Amino acid sequence: MMAESQSGYNVETIRNLFPILNRKVKGRDLIYFDNAATAQKPIQVIEALTHYYSHYNANIHRGLHTLADEATAAFEATRHSIQHFIGAAVPEEIIFTKGTTESINLVASAWGNTHLQKGDEIIISSLEHHANIVPWQMVAEARGAQLRVIPIDDNGVLDMEAFQNMLNEKTRFVSIVHASNALGVINPVEDIITLAHKFDALVLVDAAQSSVHLELDVQQLDCDFLVFSGHKIYGPTGTGILYGKKALLEMLPPYQGGGEMIKEVTFEKTTYNELPFKFEAGTPNIADFIALKPAVDFIQDIGKKNIHAHEDALLRYATEKLETIDGLHIRGNVANKVSVVSFTIDDIHPQDLAILLDNQGIAVRTGHHCAQPLMKRLGIVGTTRASFAAYNTFEEIDIFAQALNKSIKMLK
């Protein structure tokens, strides 16, 4: 057993904030290693939800009563907190959506349908989640544009030379994942952005995984858009973020029409509201966005750097343990990655393994991880993925490794 990774990092104090970690699964203490799919929620987030519904539930922005004012203030406080979380210049650059998926669809649709011409090119990578493939395929098909894909090597590392060769005057947009949800591999987004901008192509960064692990500064990165999901940063489901440079968001047409996104409506003509409301048609997910703020505060209070150091120590510990298991292959076993261990075991189907692990109280994810083209590229049907968060421990990894060895014996 290793000592805790960080002096001052108290994992027990952190665990006590997460009620779900007290539950049993199949008679065992829950070991939750499915954090890349969704993170568990600290008590502050859960209480913010019940407090809102018990004390100041109201529709926002239009009301002229106390409850509406309080709800509006809390909702907009989250926007400021997200602005600082990613280093955006102004709160108007933060658009609230349902999730990463909706954020990408918004950009692909609003930008793609007004800017893509026949023959234009969009670049994505072999590591993308389906959410960063399908919306671009849809708009490319509608506009007669071409989708190009940056290749990777067998370890999931991007071929940057191929990317450079791919860039040309027809390249209009590059949409790239920062850290792969399936393998954990981190892409060199800074270089990608610099190179793409030389060809005046816009760049969207899918930060669904990186937002919880890595320090992000959108102004320093100089990305044009950046997207992520609240539920992966210890916040509620149904909360998504779209960051966009103000000038770009101003230029784009609205994505959906309805209430809230308008300035004035007549049957002849409608004028649109200003940012960010132009992109937030209808009553938003008020409660969940209010409860997203304590999630961001939770990360900021401990410090993303400290959480990352802990997760990185867990990642290294788990990688060393798993590498000793006969026939086990870690996919994306590179130095530069977030706390995801994705692996296959010779002659064992990931699904069978997941069932045996669940019987021992361990939650991991198995399958293609919404990245079927990536699995195809690696020549596998899927992987078993263990992903670590702020509250995971070295003891849990010990138990996991034992359970894994036991399961393998049963399956072989």
Ligand X SMILES: *Cc1c(COP(=O)(O)O)cnc(C)c1O
Helix (H) or strand (E) holding 263: strand 262-265
Nearer to ligand X, 171 or 181 (CB): 181
Q: Is 177 in the site for ligand X (CB under 6 A)?
A: yes
Nearer to ligand X, 100 or 393 (CB): 100
Q: Rounded to an integer, what distance in angstroms lies between the CA atom of residue 264 and that of residue 7?
A: 57
Contact indicator for 325, 345 with CB cutoff of 8 Å: yes
Of 81, 101, 171, 342, the one binding ligand X (CB under 6 A) is 101
Of 78, 81, 100, 384, the one binding ligand X (CB under 6 A) is 100
Closest CA to 134 of 207, 206, 216: 206
Query: In this structure, what is the dihedral angle of CA atoms 341, 343, 348, 354, given to the nearest 10 degrees?
Result: 30
Hey, which residues does 96 pair with through a beta bridge? 241
Q: Rounded to an integer, what distance in angstroms lies between the CA atom of residue 314 and that of residue 332?
A: 16
Is 223 a known active-site residue? no
Q: Is 131 in the site for ligand X (CB under 6 A)?
A: yes
CB of 78 to ligand X, least distance (A): 17
Q: Is 229 in the site for ligand X (CB under 6 A)?
A: yes
Which listed residue (25, 160, 166, 370) is catalytic? Answer: 370
Candidates 134-142, 204-212, 293-301, 404-412 — which segment interacts with ligand X by CB under 6 A?
A: 204-212
CB of 232 to ligand X, least distance (A): 6
Q: Rounded to an integer, what distance in angstroms lies between the CA atom of residue 211 and that of residue 412?
A: 39
Nearer to ligand X, 181 or 360 (CB): 181
Q: Is 181 in the site for ligand X (CB under 6 A)?
A: yes
Q: Rounded to an integer, what distance in angstroms lies between the CA atom of residue 288 and that of residue 48?
A: 9
Q: Is 209 in the site for ligand X (CB under 6 A)?
A: yes
Of 158, 186, 208, 296, the one binding ligand X (CB under 6 A) is 208
Query: Dihedrals φ, ψ of 324, to 5°?
Result: -80, -10
Looking only at the bridges linking them, the beta strands covering 262-265 and 240-244 are: unpaired
Looking only at the bridges linking them, the beta strands covering 240-244 and 94-97 are: antiparallel
Nearer to ligand X, 11 or 390 (CB): 390
Q: Contact residues for ligand X (CB under 6 A)?
A: 99-101, 129, 131-132, 177, 181, 206, 208-209, 229
Q: Which are the catalytic amino acids? A: 370
